[in-house]
């Protein structure tokens, strides 16, 4: 912890970001206390995500994504690093690439939620985060309004590698905040492979579990 962080914590103690917790943050970095961090819905059964998309992580992601709680990116990246290292060799990774936003959505939101997490995650595993090589060509409609088949159709051809020299022959970790049907990750993976990537490892913060009664994931982000 740096001196400036120590002073800020003395003057303005951080309170855990988990709703109704109220504990002071006792971790050097981040805004989630140790108690809540340990009791988050870790999802080790699924090799491509750190968590299941359940409370309280779902509430935290919504605050991060829709209400400007960008300070949570470091907590999310720390969790992803811990989970990733259990399942993958970070030394074999060459590049970290976030799922891109279309420029219209980026202007609307002000930040790419996947990009902030990807940068913090890349720093933690000692790799470069490349936010420019993979581009979103179309401003597709919000996927939560579409069925699984419609999502795949809407996203077909929506992504392209615009800087092939950056990804050619490399092992890429593709980062997003939430995975539902996997349509977005699938299209991005296809684009990266078409652009010359040697291997693509999709890895997300949280995986939405399937509800058989609904026939779709709980939520598409």
76 and 153 belong to one structural domain? yes
pLDDT the model gives residue 43? 62
Q: Please state the length of the chain.
A: 221
The pLDDT value recorded for residue 3 is 43
Which tokens belong to 127?
């790799």
Are residues 33 and 89 both part of a single domain?
no
Q: Is residue 109 part of a domain?
A: yes
Q: Per-residue pLDDT averaged across 70-89, rounded?
A: 94
Higher pLDDT, 5 or 166: 166
The pLDDT of residue 209 is 79
Q: Are residues 178 and 209 in the same domain?
A: yes
At 96-137, the pLDDT tens digits run 999 999 998 888 899 999 999 999 999 999 999 999 999 999
Which are the contacts of 169, defined by CB distance < 8 A and separation ≥ 6?
Answer: 196, 197, 198
The residue ranges of DSSP E strands in the chain, in sequence order, are: 49-52, 95-98, 128-129, 134-136, 159-161, 171-179, 199-207, 210-211, 216-217
Nearest CA among 1, 39, 2 for reference residue 18: 39
Confidence at residue 46, expressed as pLDDT on a 0 to 100 scale = 45
Asked if the peptide bond before residue 56 counts as cis, ω within 30 degrees of 0, the response is yes
Whole-number pLDDT of residue 139? 74
Q: Please state the rounded mean pLDDT for residues 61-78.
A: 95
Range of the domain at 160: 42-217
Confidence class for position 148, pLDDT limits 50, 70, 90:
low
Containing H/E element for 4?
helix 3-11
Please, what is the average pLDDT of the chain? 84
Residues 140, 198 share a domain: yes
Query: What CATH number has the domain bearing residue 50?
Result: 3.40.50.2020
1 inside domain:
no
Do 165 and 58 lie in one domain? The reply is yes
> Domain count of the chain?
2
Within a domain: residue 182?
yes
pLDDT at residue 208, rounded to an integer: 86
């Amino acid at each position: 912890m740096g001196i400036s962080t120590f002073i800020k914590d003395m003057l303005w103690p951080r309170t855990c970001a988990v709703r109704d917790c109220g504990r002071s943050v006792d971790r050097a970095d981040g805004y989630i206390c140790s108690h809540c961090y340990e009791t988050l819905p870790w999802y080790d059964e699924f090799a491509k995500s750190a968590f299941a998309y359940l409370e309280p992580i779902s509430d935290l992601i919504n605050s991060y994504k829709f209400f400007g709680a960008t300070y949570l990116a470091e907590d999310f990246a720390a969790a992803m690093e811990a989970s990733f290292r259990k399942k993958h060799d970070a030394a074999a990774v060459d590049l970290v690439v976030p799922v891109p936003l279309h420029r219209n959505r980026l202007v609307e939101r002000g930040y790419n939620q996947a990009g902030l997490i990807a940068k913090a995650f890349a720093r933690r595993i000692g790799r470069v985060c490349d936010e420019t090589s993979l581009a979103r060509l179309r401003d597709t409609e919000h996927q939560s309004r579409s069925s699984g088949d419609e999502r795949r159709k809407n996203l077909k051809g929506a992504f392209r590698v615009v800087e092939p020299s950056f990804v050619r022959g490399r092992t890429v970790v593709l980062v997003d905040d939430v995975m539902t049907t996997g349509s977005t990750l699938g299209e991005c993976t296809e684009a990266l492979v078409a652009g010359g990537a040697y291997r693509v490892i999709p890895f997300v913060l949280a995986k939405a579990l399937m509800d058989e009664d609904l026939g779709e994931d709980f939520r598409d982000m």
